[in-house]
């Protein structure tokens, strides 16, 4: 039986992790700590609210006293740190919160964990600090380069990836210097339910529904290695259960796609959904899906992101060989599940769009 502090779990991956964990570990306790920034949505945790194993606390990972109090009063033995500023474009326009949350906030969590688990009366008890990181710390690959392994040198290019890289180093240092039982996972791009619609896949889905341009940065040939979010949760589960303290594990899907290929695939799926279900036309009258040139007519090439990394690719053979990790979802099945989830969960994304998402869109694209 484990007692977990899950930070940032009102966000995309953390919320999926909470639902994944509660469904599989009936005896575990989950305390969520989330600041509810623009990216945090309590609605993403609605299915867990009321469950006696679950508690939500609104707060900042920078609040060391609060984290220490939660670790003590809830007798928590595990931290899974999802809390972060996570969007590259935002980090380009305003890096400060990335430094504050991703670096200073992670360090604050490490200090609280060390104080409670190593220095105080808890000292010597089994514990685990799992840090959720990204493949973007390794920098950008050329088309013929081998995929990132755990020993690829760090070469972050954006303020986002630089802040994640700094946090990864602090996590490593707390193991080597103080003996904190840490693990880190570096994962490729995720997609699936509850993803905030500033990221490529949900942005494209919702813009198709509203007949808005689908902005493709640069030539659209940038490559990402896409993983269905539940497969990321499965990878973290394996690291928590069997991973060795002090180790780093890459998690990926062996699933490289160019951005333009993905956008065309989503357009095709949306055209098919609209052609098969006349109710969708009534719900989304502005959408060109299933008619004329179809959704692909919305594709618009726009100015490239500054410093845009060309390619990411993960070599996940370490976690596969050591911990038996294998992704369960194919890209075709995962993307179809994702399209259907957004079509079936209009109230969730409407609530997101009525607030921060709409304001953000206006600042980016003038509405």
Length of the chain: 367
- Judged by CB under 6 A, the number of residues near ligand TYD is 12
* Residue 80 near residue 109, CB atoms below 8 Å: no
107 binds ligand NAD (CB under 6 A): no
Contacts of ligand NAD in 2-21 (CB under 6 A) = 7-8, 10-14
DSSP state of 120: S
Contacts of 192 by beta carbon, 8 Å cutoff, 6+ apart? 12, 16, 228, 229, 230, 334, 337, 338, 341
280 binds ligand TYD (CB under 6 A): no
List the single partner that 224 binds among ligand NAD, ligand TYD, none, CB under 5 to 8 Å by kind.
ligand TYD
Of 77, 85, 135, 271, the catalytic one is 135
Q: Is 282 exposed, middle or buried (0-12, 13-18, 19+ CB in 10 A)?
A: exposed
Task: Please give the angle made by the CA atoms of 99, 157 and 93, to the nearest 5 degrees.
Answer: 55
φ and ψ at residue 94, rounded to 5 degrees = -155, 85
* Residue 32 near residue 70, CB atoms below 8 Å: no
Instruction: Determine the Cα–Cα distance for residues 26 and 21; give it in Å rounded to an integer.
Output: 8
Strand partners, 225: 256
Nearest CA among 224, 195, 213, 233 for reference residue 298: 213
Residues 155-194, one symbol each (x = binds ligand TYD by CB under 6 A, - = not), give ----------------------------------x-----
88 binds ligand TYD (CB under 6 A): yes
Nearest CA among 80, 74, 71 for reference residue 17: 80
Contacts of ligand NAD in 133-152 (CB under 6 A) = 134
105 binds ligand NAD (CB under 6 A): yes
30 binds ligand NAD (CB under 6 A): no
Task: Please give the angle made by the CA atoms of 188, 194 and 200, to the nearest 5 degrees.
Answer: 50
Of 60, 64, 136, 225, the catalytic one is 136
For residues 34 and 136, which CB has a smaller minimum distance to ligand TYD in the complex?
Answer: 136
List the single partner that 339 binds among ligand TYD, ligand NAD, none, CB under 5 to 8 Å by kind.
none
Contacts of ligand TYD in 305-344 (CB under 6 A) = 305
Contacts of ligand NAD in 157-176 (CB under 6 A) = 164
Shortest spacing between CB 42 and ligand NAD, in angstroms: 9
131 binds ligand TYD (CB under 6 A): no
For residues 208 and 323, which CB has a smaller minimum distance to ligand TYD in the complex?
Answer: 208
34 binds ligand NAD (CB under 6 A): yes
* Residue 48 near residue 21, CB atoms below 8 Å: no
129 binds ligand NAD (CB under 6 A): no
Binding segment for ligand NAD (CB under 6 A), chosen from 55-63, 151-159, 286-294, 301-309, is: 55-63
356 binds ligand NAD (CB under 6 A): no
Answer yes or no: 160 catalytic: yes
Shortest spacing between CB 200 and ligand TYD, in angstroms: 4
Instruction: Determine the Cα–Cα distance for residues 239 and 260; give it in Å rounded to an integer.
Output: 33
212 binds ligand TYD (CB under 6 A): no
Shortest spacing between CB 357 and ligand NAD, in angstroms: 12
Contacts of ligand NAD in 303-342 (CB under 6 A) = none
Instruction: Write the CA distances from 286 to 155, 216, 270, 281, integer angstroms.
Output: 43, 20, 13, 8
DSSP state of 244: P
Instruction: Provide the annotated active-site residues.
Output: 135-136, 160
Contact footprint for ligand NAD (CB under 6 A): 7-8, 10-14, 33-37, 39-40, 60-62, 82-84, 86, 101, 105, 132, 134, 164, 187, 189-190, 196
């Amino acid at each position: 039986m484990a007692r977990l502090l899950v930070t940032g779990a009102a966000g995309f991956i953390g919320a999926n992790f909470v639902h994944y964990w509660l469904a599989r570990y009936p005896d575990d306790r989950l305390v969520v700590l989330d600041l509810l920034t623009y990216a945090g949505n309590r609605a993403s945790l609605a299915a867990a609210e009321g469950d006696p194993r679950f508690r939500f606390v609104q707060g900042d990972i920078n609040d060391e006293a609060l984290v220490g109090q939660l670790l003590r009063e809830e007798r928590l033995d595990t931290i899974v740190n999802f809390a972060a500023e996570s969007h590259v474009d935002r980090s380009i326009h305003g890096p400060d919160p990335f430094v504050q949350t991703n670096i200073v906030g992670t360090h604050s969590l490490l200090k609280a964990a060390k104080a409670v688990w190593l220095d105080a009366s808890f000292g010597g008890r089994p514990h685990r600090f799992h840090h959720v990181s990204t493949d973007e710390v390794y920098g950008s690959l050329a088309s013929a380069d081998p995929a990132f392994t755990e020993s690829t040198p760090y070469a972050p290019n954006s303020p986002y990836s630089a802040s994640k890289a700094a946090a990864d180093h602090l996590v490593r240092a707390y193991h080597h210097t103080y003996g904190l039982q840490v693990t880190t996972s570096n994962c490729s791009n995720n997609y699936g339910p509850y993803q905030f619609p500033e990221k490529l896949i949900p942005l494209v889905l919702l813009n198709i529904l509203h007949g808005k341009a689908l902005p493709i940065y640069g030539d659209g040939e940038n490559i990402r290695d896409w993983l269905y979010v539940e497969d990321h949760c499965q990878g973290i589960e394996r690291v928590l259960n069997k991973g060795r303290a002090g180790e780093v594990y890459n998690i990926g899907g062996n699933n490289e796609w160019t951005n333009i290929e993905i956008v065309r695939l989503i357009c095709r799926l949306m055209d098919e959904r609209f052609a098969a279900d006349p109710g969708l036309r009534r719900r989304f009258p502005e959408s060109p899906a299933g008619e004329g040139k179809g959704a692909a007519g919305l594709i618009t090439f726009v100015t490239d992101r500054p410093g845009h990394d060309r390619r990411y690719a993960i070599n996940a053979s370490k976690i596969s060989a050591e911990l038996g990790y294998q992704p369960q979802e194919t890209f075709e099945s995962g993307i179809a599940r994702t399209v259907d989830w957004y079509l079936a969960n209009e109230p969730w994304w409407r609530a997101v769009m009525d607030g921060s998402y709409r304001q953000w869109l206006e600042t980016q694209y003038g509405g």
